[in-house]
Amino acid sequence: MNEVILDTETTGLSFIDGHKIVEIACIETKDLVATGRIFHKLINPKRTVPEEAFKVHGFSEKFLSDKQIFNEIADEFLTFIKNKKIIIHNAPFDLGFLNGELSSINRKKIDKELIIDSLEIARNKFPGASNSLDALCKRFNIDLSRRTKHNALLDCELLREVYINLLDVKEPKFNLSNNVHERNISKSKDYSKIVVKVSENELKEHSQFLKSELKKNSY
């Protein structure tokens, strides 16, 4: 089974309080090696974007006003994640928004059995420590220089590296500057495939190890 690394940006902290998703990004992987397939959408929330949220991700109400609404991208999103394990950092937050949005348009909710919460894994591994995405990147010496604001696509790339480190899976380091676009998302249309050179034997051993870890750490 392939995996999806997923992240969202929103107008606030809770769907129940009327907040909405403004960005969804997914990176497909196979045994945590990026396949080159992504899903990335900016979304018009059809509501105001509070100043606090704007400071986090930089998406203004005006900027989002000509983007698609969630209903228009839902089917493509559901097709992309179908039959895949979904890796999320702080899964209850993103899943709460995603399932809230899906329920509001009479679509089936995402099954929690498919979710792996990397935050829960980090908390078990490093109890008492800060386990935010930033903190884990610093712990694992992952480059954060371009993360001036929250960006769902960049955060997916960072989370993939963090998750590999959480599982203690060895993999060649990536130069993220070659495969994540800068903030000018409105011009982003295509993303280069990431190629990782590993031997067939290494990939087979990695696959066997990963299957056992995914089953053990499912949300």
Q: Which residues are catalytic?
A: 150
- Amino acid present at 15: F
CB 50 within 8 A of CB 18: no
Residues 6 or more apart whose Cβ sits within 8 Å of residue 19: 10, 11, 12, 13, 45, 47, 53, 97
The stretches of the chain forming alpha helices (DSSP H) are 51-57, 61-64, 70-81, 91-104, 118-125, 133-139, 152-166, 200-216
**Cα dihedral across residues 22, 28, 31, 34: positive or negative:** negative
Report residue 95 as tokens.
């899943």
Task: Give, as one character, the DSSP assignment of residue 68.
Answer: B
